[in-house]
Chains A and B, each alone.
Chain A
């Protein structure tokens, strides 16, 4: 390795857990959508069904006849494999996440690279970073070795808020988990509330995923992918 032109950008553990999480996320999203269309109605509280009022209903056709959608047809039922895949992918994602979480604390990765620096958290510096992004200034080079404040805010929200919350609300829907740890579900006000929050957290994660992929593409797709696959980032002069 030529240390003069290349540096280690991402450690092996970060790279492996990143890609396991990416694959799990896409599998969870696909299977989650399939599960959702069997009952695209949402409720608040402990219980809710086709005979009770909904909090809201997504205007899509359903894969079961039991829910009134206004469409004259019922989509094919895909819940069997979707549920198997959803939980298998959840295990892969959760185990990768735990490994990453332990590593992040122990190695100092979170403190050093992820948590926004106090001095960066002023409205002025956030506005400046945002303006730079909007003008595409420095997008290709400035983040080669570290993350800017907006990335840090996005990554810490995903790592410490949205991923834990999606796992927690998922567990809260399990009758077995609720029997062993009732507060897992009562803290949300009920199993249906947990399901509704699970849906909204999914939307937040999808929004993050889309922005993340677009930013990777705009900031030099090849270099970023190379950094996350091989760990190395070619050092270049800022353009």
Chain B
């Protein structure tokens, strides 16, 4: 082996070792600061982790853009599964028997009716809802801040995620505490000055305006506060990755 090529080989080896240990150190730090998404393993893990980590660092306290009433556009109710008998019965009763169960790492687990939810301060936002397909609309959303709902039930300091479930089969999702405690993350019950229509997720819809539409799950009836997503579905954080979609939808 000639001198230059040996030197080159050594340099490459040192570079590879330094690179690998740098990546390992970065992964450890990222893990400690909660910058690795639950679907951060596998082939697309590096891209997902970079997106989630970078956006978390840049957007920890950022607010979704809010618009004026004049900017409200024609809304589009995306398709959802035909309602179950149970749902139709609840709808016929004006959703007075609809309950949002709150469980997990909370001091006072229980369930909230629409009346209970409306006892929390009423909040409104005019924000953009963008679907991953490419279309969007701007609407006024009315509801309770998830953070104020969580305050009212007392969450444990170890809480890391809030998991939420829809009455529509297979639809469940979760957000980290940055989004769960974010002032624009709502449990909505009203839209554009009226009751939240069923087509838009009524009677109760999660609203996460810093992420794409599929995180704003319709017909929510159960919240679980947790420190780990391992016990939920395949442990990837939501039904989305199980259907091939990313857990984090900030982009």
A90 to B, closest residue via Cβ: B47
Pick out which of these stretches binds chain A: B22-30, B88-96, B242-250: B242-250
Q: A84-B48, A173-B130, A191-B130 are in contact. Are A41 and B135 (CB under 8 A)?
A: yes
B126 to chain A, nearest CB (A): 11
A47 part of interface (Cβ distance < 8 Å):
yes
5 closest Cβ contacts across the A-B interface? A80-B244, A88-B47, A176-B250, A49-B76, A49-B135
Contact B136 A91, beta carbon cutoff 8 Å: no
A76 to chain B, nearest CB (A): 12
B250 to A, closest residue via Cβ: A176
Which of B46, B58, B132, B134: most chain A Cβ within 10 A?
B134
What string of 1s and 0s marks CB contacts (under 8 Å) between A49-91 and chain B? 1111000000000001111000000000001110111011111
B116 part of interface (Cβ distance < 8 Å):
no
B112 part of interface (Cβ distance < 8 Å):
no
**What CA separation (Å) do A94 and B40 show in the bound complex?**
20
Contact A91 B50, beta carbon cutoff 8 Å: yes
Pick the contact of A48 from B62, B136, B212 — CB < 8 Å? B136
Contact B44 A177, beta carbon cutoff 8 Å: no
B-side contacts of A89, CB under 8 Å: 47
B159 part of interface (Cβ distance < 8 Å):
no
What string of 1s and 0s marks CB contacts (under 8 Å) between A167-184 and chain B? 000010111111111100
A39 part of interface (Cβ distance < 8 Å):
yes
Q: A179-B64, A180-B58 are in contact. Are A83 and B211 (CB under 8 A)?
A: no
B67 part of interface (Cβ distance < 8 Å):
yes
**What CA separation (Å) do A16 and B169 show in the bound complex?**
47
The total number of A-B Cβ pairs within 8 Å is 135
B133 to chain A, nearest CB (A): 4
A residues apposed to B, CB below 8 Å: 35-36, 38-39, 41, 43, 46-52, 64-67, 79-81, 83-85, 87-91, 171, 173-182, 185, 191-192, 195
Contact B46 A175, beta carbon cutoff 8 Å: no
B residues apposed to A, CB below 8 Å: 44, 46-48, 50-51, 55, 58-59, 62-65, 67, 71, 73-76, 78-79, 128, 130-138, 209-212, 243-246, 250-251
A-side contacts of B62, CB under 8 Å: 176, 179-180
Pick the contact of A179 from B73, B132, B210, B243 — CB < 8 Å? B210
A-side contacts of B78, CB under 8 Å: 66
Contact B44 A84, beta carbon cutoff 8 Å: yes
Pick the contact of A39 from B65, B135, B245, B251 — CB < 8 Å? B135
Contact B46 A91, beta carbon cutoff 8 Å: yes
27 contacts between A and B (CB under 8 A): A35-B134, A38-B134, A39-B134, A41-B135, A47-B128, A48-B73, A49-B75, A49-B135, A49-B136, A49-B137, A51-B76, A66-B78, A66-B79, A80-B244, A83-B132, A88-B46, A173-B130, A175-B64, A176-B58, A176-B211, A177-B55, A177-B59, A179-B62, A179-B209, A180-B58, A182-B65, A195-B134
Pick the contact of B132 from A43, A52, A79, A81 — CB < 8 Å? A79
Contact B135 A48, beta carbon cutoff 8 Å: yes
Pick the contact of A64 from B128, B133, B212, B251 — CB < 8 Å? B133
Contact B245 A83, beta carbon cutoff 8 Å: yes
B150 to chain A, nearest CB (A): 21
A-side contacts of B51, CB under 8 Å: 87, 91
**What CA separation (Å) do A192 and B131 show in the bound complex?**
11
B-side contacts of A47, CB under 8 Å: 73, 128, 136-138
Contact B44 A85, beta carbon cutoff 8 Å: yes
**What CA separation (Å) do A61 and B137 show in the bound complex?**
23
A-side contacts of B246, CB under 8 Å: 83-84, 87
Pick the contact of B245 from A80, A91, A173, A174 — CB < 8 Å? A80
Contact A39 B133, beta carbon cutoff 8 Å: yes
